[in-house]
């Protein structure tokens, strides 16, 4: 049976490959999936909606009240209305819909490396191409010189992920402004993936929402409310662009998950208190995993300021995929840095969305395995 060339040209996600290796006894620090319970209001709201018969098709752009609630929450960055918001079946699908809406065959996008695994494949599925731009070592800020050197007449957009998956870095103000200057000078669209904006432990979140004439911003409920299985996200754009994005979404899914939207809506009124507690938990876990990693001779990490990922470097002369496989054999699942682009090699990604007990056991395996490999080297 024939498979399309555009699908055949992209590989399965390295994150998913490692996830599939996990046994029931493994310590899984590979997936960015919060182990927290969702807000009770979210579960109650979804259940009530389903019991009351709200299980049918809904508006393509999402129910108006949830669009308005998202607009109100994110108006702290720039005044928004419901017309600036579309609810989507996950942040991932929002990113694909953006690519399908703005790219023509031959268009090129710039994507961060190390960076989330779907940006490049989404561009290819939309008929375009992608070019990696480098994040600086240690601080993992977009390298502006590298970005400028890779812009061509075919460059249409630049992808930004803030806070970053896999590095946990948070965009600094000078870098934020420099990216905006480059985009304005070269007439590029900024596609800003801000799904981890709720999880910043030091500093502040700099959103491109204040520049919707130049950007489309993607967010999500999956991480915010610990409902990854609900598959519910959102994107924000100016009203002219939103008309086209809604048309694309109709052809992708007709409408988002109706009961889940009511669940998210029910939780929005008290989400700040929920997130304050979640940040306290994740910050404690971050401090633990950073301390444990830096105790291992030959591994190093600068404390990440956002998201819930640790992305340490190591000094062994071994590909990250091989090192991750050795750890998997010993019962620890993580993701090789190479899964996140060519500039991710020499790193591993660990999620600290798991509890402290799992993190501690996982770091025990990491320390033992790495020490043994160093002795053999």
14 pLDDT higher than 80: no
15 pLDDT higher than 60: no
pLDDT in tens, 290-317: 999 999 999 999 999 999 999 999 999 9
Segment 109-122 shows an average pLDDT of: 97
Report which of 165, 160, 139 is spatially closest to residue 307, judged by C-alpha positions.
Answer: 165
pLDDT in tens, 217-226: 999 999 999 9
Segment 360-365 shows an average pLDDT of: 98
Q: CA dist 347 to 22, 25, 31, 363, Å? A: 20, 24, 16, 15
- How far is Cα 37 from Cα 237, in angstroms, rounded to an integer? 30
Express as a percent the part of the chain with pLDDT over 70: 97
């Amino acid at each position: 049976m024939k498979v399309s060339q555009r699908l055949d040209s992209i590989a399965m996600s390295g994150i998913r490959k490692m996830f599939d290796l996990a046994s029931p006894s493994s310590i899984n620090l590979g997936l960015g999936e919060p182990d927290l319970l969702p807000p009770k209001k979210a579960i109650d709201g979804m259940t009530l909606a389903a019991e009351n018969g709200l299980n049918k098709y809904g508006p393509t752009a999402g129910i108006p009240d949830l669009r308005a609630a998202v607009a109100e929450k994110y108006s702290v960055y720039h005044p928004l209305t419901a017309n600036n918001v579309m609810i989507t079946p996950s942040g991932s699908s929002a990113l694909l819909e953006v690519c399908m809406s703005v790219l023509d065959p031959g268009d090129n996008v710039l994507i961060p490396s190390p960076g989330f695994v779907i940006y490049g494949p989404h561009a290819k599925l939309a008929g375009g191409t992608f070019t990696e731009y480098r994040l600086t070592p240690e601080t993992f800020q977009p390298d502006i010189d590298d970005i400028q050197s890779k812009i061509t007449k075919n460059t249409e957009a630049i992808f930004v992920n803030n806070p970053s998956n896999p590095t946990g870095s948070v965009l600094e103000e000078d870098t934020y402004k420099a990216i905006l200057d480059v985009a304005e000078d070269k007439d590029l669209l900024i596609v800003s993936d801000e799904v981890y904006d709720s999880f910043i432990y030091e500093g502040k979140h700099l959103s491109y929402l204040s520049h919707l004439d130049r950007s489309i911003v993607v967010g999500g409920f999956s991480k915010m409310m610990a409902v990854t299985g609900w598959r519910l996200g959102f994107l924000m754009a100016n009203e002219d662009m939103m008309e086209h994005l809604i048309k694309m979404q109709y052809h992708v899914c007709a409408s988002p998950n109706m009961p889940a939207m009511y669940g998210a809506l029910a939780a929005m009124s008290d989400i700040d208190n929920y997130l304050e507690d979640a940040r306290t938990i994740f910050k404690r876990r971050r401090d633990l995993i950073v301390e444990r990693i830096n105790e291992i001779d030959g591994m190093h990490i600068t404390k990440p300021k956002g998201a819930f990922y640790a992305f340490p470097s190591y000094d062994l002369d071994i590909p990250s995929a091989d090192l991750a496989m050795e750890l998997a054999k010993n019962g620890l699942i993580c993701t090789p840095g190479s899964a996140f682009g060519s500039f991710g090699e020499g790193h591993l990604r660990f999620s600290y969305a798991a509890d402290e007990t799992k993190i501690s056991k996982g770091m025990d395996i990491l320390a033992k395995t790495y020490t043994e490999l160093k002795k053999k080297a």
